[in-house]
């Protein structure tokens, strides 16, 4: 038989909303390490530019941890691919 009821909200969300249920907050909730998250070397130059643009702000807001490194790398890589594709499309328009 499966679990009953809705899944519990994360502690931070309950604190933001004012802990309406008045139940004790989980003090043992896992918290990933924050701090400087390094840019992967394999990213293209435009992907690295996007990484450098967005990672300081995400870190400042407390939204970037070591756990998020691969997700941000995938996003930055997709952005780099997009920039490259747009460049190729623009080059094709100029030559026709």
Over its C-alpha atoms, the chain yields an Rg (Å, rounded) of 20
One digit per residue, the tens of pLDDT, for the chain of length 96 reads 567 777 777 777 777 788 777 778 777 877 777 778 999 999 999 999 999 999 999 988 888 888 899 999 999 999 999 999 999 998 887 666
Domain around 45: 31-95
Q: Is residue 83 part of a domain?
A: yes
Distances (CA, A) of 71 to 18, 20, 77, 89, 96: 30, 32, 10, 27, 38
As for how many domains the chain has, the answer is 1
Q: Is residue 11 part of a domain?
A: no
């Amino acid at each position: 038989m499966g679990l009953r009821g809705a899944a519990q909200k994360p502690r931070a969300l309950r604190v933001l909303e004012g802990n309406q249920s008045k139940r004790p907050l989980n003090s043992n909730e896992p918290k990933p390490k924050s701090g400087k998250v390094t840019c992967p070397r394999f990213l293209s130059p435009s992907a690295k530019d996007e990484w450098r643009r967005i990672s300081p702000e995400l870190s400042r807001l407390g939204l970037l941890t070591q756990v998020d490194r691969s997700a941000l790398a995938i996003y930055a890589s997709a952005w780099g691919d997009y920039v490259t594709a747009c460049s190729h499309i623009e080059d094709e328009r100029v030559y026709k």
